[in-house]
Each structure stands twice: as C-alpha cells, then as structure tokens.
Structure 1
C-alpha cells in the first residue's frame, strides 16, 4: 500500500518579535509538527520531516512566494516589507511537509492575514541645545529655552531640568535666570537635562551700573487753598528695580510753592487752579497734575442711603439705624454728610443742615418737591403721610439734600420709592343717624 504524507496541520500565529531598525519588522509564522501519514499511521522512526512555508495574495493558493524551505523547525520568521507584502492588504499563508525519503504532503489550508501598517520606532533623543542671551546685567533676569534633537533628524522644544553652577545666579523651573550683584563680570554655566542627555551654555553676569529710565510722582491730586500736601518721587532703573529718590522739586504756578522735601503749600484762589508738580533727578523728570481747590465754594455731597421705618422695621436701607416709632407716624432717615462733592472732608468749622422732600414725580422735578422738613440738624424726620397730603397705596419718592451754613447746597439724594401705608384714623364707633 502506498502511504502519503499527512496534510500539514497548521496552527499559524503571526507575532512581532523585534524591531531592530527603523520601519523594519520581524514576524513569526508557526504550525503543528507532522508525525503521521494520511492514513493515520505514524511515520517510522529514523525518518525525518522538513517543511516549506509560502505566502500568496491568491486565496486559491496560486502564485506562491517562498518564505522558507527545508525547514527543520515548525516556525520561520519573515519581514513583511522585505517579502513585498502590501501594507493593509490581505495575504494567505500555507506550508507543506517533506520526508527525507522524498514523499511530499499537499499544501495546508490557507491562513488569511491582514498585513499591518508599518509603525516607525520612537525617535531617540540625541542631544540638547540651549537658546538665550549670552550675557545678563547684574540684578537682571532672562529666560532660556531648550531644544532636543532626535536620531531621525527632527527637533522639538523640551522642558528640561535647569541648573547653574554659580552663586551669582539662580535659575527656575521655567528657565528664568536671575542674576545677583557682582563686583566684576562672572561666568555661569547653564545646564539643561532631559531624557538622559544634557546641554550647556556659558552665560556672563555683567558688572554694569543700572540706568535710570523714569521718575514717578505720588501724592494728593488736590490741595485746598491755604493747605499743604506732601509729594514723593520714585525712580525706575533698566534692571527693573525701583527706589525712593530725593529729586529737585518745582511747580509751574503762582498759586503754590513746593519745598525741597516735596511739601506743596497752596495759596488762596478765587476758583480751582491747576498746578503741575515736577520732580527732576538724574536727567529724568516726572510730573503730576494737582488742583488747588477753592474750598469756600465747595458744595456738600448728597445724602446717601435714604431709609424709612414704621412702627416695627425698615423697608429699605437697613444700614441706616432708626428706632421704632408710632404706627401712624413714619420716619425717614439718611446717613450724615461728612464730605464735599469732590470727596474732600467738610471743614470742621462748617455746619451741615438738611431738608427732606417727597414727590410723586420719579424725576424729582423741582416743581413737584414737597417739603417734609427743612433746615434740620439731624438725619431723621418723622411724618404723618396723611397730614402731608399722601394717600394710601400712592407711590411716592423720598429724597433729601444737605446745605452748608455758607449756603452751598448738595444735589438731591438718590430717591427711595415707597408705597404709602398709612391707614388713616379709625371711623367713629357705633355711628347712627338720629331724627330730632
């Protein structure tokens, strides 16, 4: 009886085993060993089996391309690119077994495989370069950056660990180097470390006197006539530092004089006057505009936080305190006025009085204002809505103004909107008509 070789039993696995160079892949194809003939009888001892492996794009296993021949193992390796396989395409693997006595098996069933797209290996960092100024003035600060160069020729910005080797400078995480004061030029080595690589750059800390770049003047923007105001000056240098300076002080007006220490004395004026205060130092000047205020003509600021309370609690502006009052009497109140319209304090020698109003005109037109109280020294007015011409549920607007003893008046306070809640007197009890 003629016995033939068993069809090769293939359990094929395609494995990535290594990537020895860019874009190269090594794959392994394997199968089960052949130990019997087609009729199931074992292959006799002393006979050896070898294998040949193939691939093709034909599912019918035509046009075979040899991967390995006369193989004594049940696996072989190949590179898809070297074999000429199309990336992303489908190929079919098969194999046959051969006895040393010449008998050859048929091809194993086709094993389909989609050729994976090539994945390049990660680029390897080769070197680091540092960019930034080669020198920095003492007391100054500059920023350095680092760039990595890779074995595939590409470059990219990196965030390295920054160090320096000198007591004359410090460098932060972001590459900001800050130079200390030096008495002579000092060399500093700046180092960037990343991915096992380092790059260095030599930087010189320069012993250079800072240059004054500007002068700023500080002080009050206005001074009342007959009063004084003190001004100071600050210098700024090209290394970013600032410091108080003692400049030469001048002003450009006959309405004020300024002394060596920056004390400005205002003269009497009949109206507000503008004065320019100038500080000169190291070839630089700084200026500030100051107003000499005619304080005799200053009007007080308007009262703030109009509030109203009945017998139990506020209905507006709880920041203004007022005690409970009788049920039929309501109390309107506001904050004490302590400043002039321009924010300056009212002269302590002046007296402030107030006038309170109500109106049904939300625009607070002068013709519509009705006085609740006039020329009062306090900030509280008690009133009976009915007695003052208000009707229940009428919407009214409460306001007030401040008046100095010199006659200057403030503008009207921001009004408080209030719906009249006075219930009026009770009707006569047990009323009846009697015929006489």
Structure 2
C-alpha cells in the first residue's frame, strides 16, 4: 500500500467533512488514511491512484461506477449495504466540496482516464448512428444489454428466465413461484381463455407466451429484438411441446403484420420505447387488437411526471443505453389518447425490490461461474446495477405499474366485469 509523504495532508481529509459523525461507513485510501468510522462493518476502499483519476475526471456516480467496475474501488459489507448508507449522504451533502478538496490534495490525478471497456455508448456509436430509437439503433441497444450470453442470464435470473418484476403471493414465496404468479396475474387481467390469440411484445425468453399457452390454452406470438433470447425461447417452446401454439420471432414489434389479436402483453418493453414514441407505440398496439381486446402494460416508472426521462450516466453507459422512464400519468395519458380505455392500475413496487434482492442473491451465489462466462467487469457492473435498482424500489425512487387498457367498441362497450378482483 502506498503511504503519504511525511507532513503531507492525508487523502481521507477530502472525505472526512462529508461523513456526519456516527455514520457507519469507513472510507479507506491507498495512502493509509481512513475517513468515517474505521470500525464500521460497511465501507469502500480506493486501492490505487487510478481510483482518484476516475473520481476526479468524472465526479459523481459515473466516476464511482468506473472505479468500481475496474476494481480500483472495493466495497466491504456488500454493495447494497454500502449504497444504503451512502445514498442519503449523496442526496443531502455537497460532494463537490470533497471533489474540490481532492483536487487540491492530489492534483496529479486530475487528468482524463480511459473508461473501462464495459462502457457502452462508444460501442453503440461504432455500430450505428442516428436518432434515439431508430430501428437500427434500438436493435444495437437491445443487443448490447441482452445478447451477453444466455448462460449468464440463467445464473442471475434462475430457471424461469424472467427478467421483469415478479409478483410474490406470500412474503416467503420463492422467486420461481413469484415469477409464475406474475405471468398468471397478467393472464387473468387480460381475460385469456382457450382459443384466444395473444401477442407478447418484447417477449424476452418466452416465459409469458409459454405460460399463457400451457395454462390458458391460447395461441401466442412473441417477438424480441434479441437474437439470443429468440434462439433460447424457441428451444424451450419445442422442449415443452408447445410449437403448435407458440411462436417466437426475432423481430421488431413494429414489423408484426398480423391483426385481430384478443390480447397484447407488454412486459418490460416501454422502458426501451422513448417518451416521444409512446403515442405511436400505443396506437400500433391498438391496431393489432380486435374490438374489446385488452392490453396489459407492465413497466418501470418514475415516481412523478416532472422528472427527467433519462436514466443517468451509469445506467445509460453501462446498463440500458437509450433507456427512458416516464411517470405513470404520462403512460396512462398516452394510452388514453391513442386507442385505449384505462380499466385498472396496480403498483408492484415492493415486489420489484424483492425480485431484485433475489437476483442479487443469485449473482452472489454464482459469482465465479458468472465471471467465467461474462468477465469480471461485466459481473461488477451487474452487481452495482442490481443493488442500486433494489434500493431505488425499496426507497420509492422508482415504481412498477401494471396498467390495463381495453379497446372500446364504437358504441362505448368494453366487455369488462363490473368489479374485477385479480388479487395478488
């Protein structure tokens, strides 16, 4: 470990004034100095001068993420626990004061440093240019996140391969039980019955279409922009003996030509559409439905309609390039204005916190296998992404809504029960 020169000011001084007394957080620096509570069970350590270069060249969450993904920042006590302590500090303190002090203490590290290879936007720019949410750019953005490897996703998501919020029927239910319960809840809200036709846009690895066909007797078409997902899903459909009722296509949802569907499920796709494209999105889905057909839109939302749609530098550069989140009011308005009558809304925020906790546990349990499959940088990225997302749902920084709409008839009838009770 490097040590500071005699008489020089310890680097931890930059952090000391930012950590209120009694905060259970230890910040260790490569010069041997410590800020906060040295005996705290959680904390982080800057292990090299390069960690400072990351922090100083990109202050805030991006610098911290780069330092962590590259291994120059290490956490003790678990990422979730560290973030749980740090988030209130980040929300209330002037961290720019600490950055200013760091620049005074270590000006030699105030220089550009190359981002880690896991950072996505430069890769996207090399692959495709053009407007956000153009077809080619959407395909590249989806591939960047979803076409890692199916094996990696199996390690994180578990046997269900469901990469959306589960719905826990009981507090102690397993992740697999909760994912099956989520698909069943969607089927019941859509009013699926034998012989109906279902379109699932952004179908992922096929969990929804397979559940609907097996348990509700529908004929289902699922579409996804991820080639890896489509290949995996087709194999599972064949293994389950459902090829006569389920088809999965590697296809942009905008290229679906069939119409007259009885129901459309959109589970976790709205986040990739973009706010300005929501009206066209819902108009297109309405055009795919017969009169009285239903749409269940399941997506992550902001907690208000006044926040930015952008995800922030870490998520945009490392997790979901071009992703956007809207408030539920914006989504409901877009549905109402473009072919749907809103019939039901449900916020499953706490369920997503539990889902993410389960994914974090899977990643921890399968860490070595995940590193072997996807590389240490990618696994560190996912650990940070999952833990920070879990906290966002637990602390009401994000919500998860299921919004049910129906395509009304010209005479205004909607063919709905007077008071549906789907329960949890």
* Structure of greater relative contact order (alpha carbons < 8 Å, 6+ residues apart): 2
TM-score normalised over the length of structure 2:
0.18
Larger Rg: 1
Name the structure with the higher helix share: 2
